[in-house]
């Protein structure tokens, strides 16, 4: 690593991405944003039939392992580290005792057992009131539904809770000893009001939730939660006293890594192709339209988002069943696959299963895999049309090829964005240009920008913009495949009532 002009080692920051499947720690040059090394450590996710849980202690052990691995690979000394920040999967419910130890495994965002509680909460308050207060209508992924489920299913555990945390809150508190969350991640709980910028007392009463169990919400723009404690420093092999950022949820960190925010950019909406698929855009407009999640961003703007539970993992399942490489896909040619293998969030079909229509003797394995790609990509693009319409950026009419959507580049991020089949399917179904950022670890790099802000007081979005982490290669639009779009849309319209029942 090149030293500074005066011969001293260059300062670095660490951005942590604690996701569903693993923890990644990005050691990043604080001056240039160059990714020097990426440490990884896996998580264990358990459960079947809608249950998805992880032991929060494994996240902490994985964080320490990932940081150690990244520092070793980068050849960086611990005293070069000037800040650390955690971004983590949203919505998970971490239930702690008085010593800060988990009372049970944490139900994750994709745990759908609380679907009945989500329905009940919506009925009790009304969808319009939920939208007005939180910007979202409860679905099974939201933390409030998981708390209601816990109170009904495991009342002794709920009664014993001394603290409730989101995954990033839990890890940040382990780092600095401060119980603090941020508006972005808090906005995914359904007990935080994006209208008022605080926990909603009426919703807390509805949920039977004492505000004393929750972390304080940091003011908008607050960068630093505290400094690394002696115990945390020992666990991570870092000096005590390093600034620790407030951190945020993974989607909010990805937006920071892309340099989105402040100006209310809608010219490059984002499609994230990961275990789940998400679409989001930074805007100054506070959206309140189901089925969008009207999240807050880290900088006082908003990050409206739609999420599908079934994205790369569902398509990879098809590839595995068919004995094909994931890139060995061909257009579906009359097939329709709705790959709702884990239920669904957008559309709100938590009990749905996968559906396949259009099989013929001439159908090939490659076409069947391609149809799975098409079904997953359709779900995301349809949600994106609704998102942009809700932000008053585009016509309300759904479907590809409608101006000005056809001219708006889509940023593709996540693991799927590195795959030819995913990129070409999105291009074909959308008919829009696609921008592929050069950097792939945008959640971790967004967290690194938050860490740099905690150390310097700079604006993290401006830091990422200066680093150029959102820049990349733009692909021209492909001809919109309207026939496939209409075929999938028709199949969904015919089967959704069955799936909902």
Catalytic residues: 250
d(CA 425, CA 430): 8
Q: State the helix-helix crossing angle for 365-390 and 482-500, rounded to 10 degrees.
A: 80
The secondary element (H helix, E strand) that includes residue 248 is strand 248-249
Tell me the three state secondary structure of residue 351. coil
Q: Tell me, rounded to whole angstroms, the distance of Cα 338 from its chain centroid.
A: 22
Question: What is the Cα Rg of the chain in Å?
Answer: 22
Cα–Cα dist 189/267, whole Å? 28
460, 453 in Cβ contact below 8 A? yes
Question: How many other C-beta atoms can be found within 10 angstroms of the C-beta atom of residue 490?
Answer: 11
**Cβ pair 377, 429 in contact under 8 A:** yes
Element (DSSP H or E) covering residue 184: helix 183-186
CA dihedral 465→258→448→70, nearest 10 degrees, is: -120
**Which alpha helices (DSSP H) does 161-287 contain, by range?**
167-176, 183-186, 201-207, 230-236, 250-257
Task: Single out the residue of 379, 378, 398 nearest to residue 388, CA to CA.
Answer: 398
469: exposed, middle or buried (Cβ count in 10 Å: 0-12, 13-18, 19+): buried
Tell which residue, 178, 259, 193, 174, has the closest CA to residue 224.
178
- The token pair at 423 is 């990129």
* CA pair distance 270, 305, nearest whole angstrom: 10
């Amino acid at each position: 690593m090149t030293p500074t002009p005066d011969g001293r080692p260059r300062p670095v920051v660490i951005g942590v991405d604690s996701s569903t499947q693993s923890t990644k720690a990005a050691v990043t040059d604080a001056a240039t944003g160059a990714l020097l090394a990426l440490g990884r450590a896996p998580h264990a996710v358990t459960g079947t039939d809608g249950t998805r849980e992880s032991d929060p202690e494994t996240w902490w052990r994985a964080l320490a392992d990932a940081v150690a691995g990244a520092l070793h690979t980068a050849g960086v000394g611990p005293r070069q580290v000037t800040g650390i920040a955690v971004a983590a999967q949203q919505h998970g419910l971490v239930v702690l005792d008085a010593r800060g130890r988990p009372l049970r495994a944490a139900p994750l965002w994709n745990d759908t057992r609380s679907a009945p509680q989500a329905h009940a909460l919506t009925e009790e308050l009304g969808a319009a009131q939920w939208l007005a207060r939180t910007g979202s209508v409860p679905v099974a992924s939201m933390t409030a539904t998981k708390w209601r489920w816990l109170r009904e299913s495991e009342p002794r555990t709920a009664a014993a809770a001394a603290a409730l945390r989101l995954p990033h809150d839990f890890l940040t508190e382990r780092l600095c000893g401060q119980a603090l969350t941020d508006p972005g991640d808090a906005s995914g709980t359904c007990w935080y009001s994006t209208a008022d910028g605080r926990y909603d007392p009426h919703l807390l009463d509805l949920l039977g939730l004492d505000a004393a169990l929750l972390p304080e919400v940091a003011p908008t723009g607050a960068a630093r939660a505290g400094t690394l404690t002696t115990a945390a420093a020992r666990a991570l092999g870092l000096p005590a006293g390093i600034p620790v950022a407030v951190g945020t949820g993974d989607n909010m960190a990805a937006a920071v890594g892309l340099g989105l925010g402040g100006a209310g950019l809608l010219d490059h909406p984002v499609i994230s192709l990961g275990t789940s698929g998400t679409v989001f855009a930074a805007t100054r407009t506070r959206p309140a339209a189901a089925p969008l999640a009207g999240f807050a961003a880290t900088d006082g703007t908003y990050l409206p988002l739609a999420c599908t539970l079934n994205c790369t993992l569902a398509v990879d399942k098809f590839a595995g069943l068919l004995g094909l490489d994931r890139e060995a896909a061909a257009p579906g040619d009359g097939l329709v696959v709705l790959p709702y293998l884990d239920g669904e969030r957008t559309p709100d079909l938590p009990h749905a299963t996968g559906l396949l229509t259009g099989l013929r003797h001439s159908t090939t394995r490659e076409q069947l895999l391609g149809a799975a790609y098409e079904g997953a990509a359709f779900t995301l693009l349809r949600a994106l049309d609704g998102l942009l319409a809700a932000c008053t950026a585009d016509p309300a009419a759904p479907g590809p090829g409608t101006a000005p959507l056809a001219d708006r580049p889509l940023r593709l991020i996540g693991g799927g964005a590195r795959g030819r089949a995913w990129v070409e399917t999105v291009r074909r179904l959308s008919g829009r240009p696609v921008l592929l950022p050069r950097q792939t670890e945008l959640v971790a790099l967004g967290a690194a920008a938050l860490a740099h802000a905690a150390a310097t007081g700079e604006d993290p979005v401006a830091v990422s913009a200066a680093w150029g982490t959102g820049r990349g290669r733009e692909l021209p639009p492909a001809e919109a495949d309207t026939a496939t779009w209409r075929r999938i849309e028709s199949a969904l319209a015919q089967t959704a009532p069955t799936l909902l029942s």
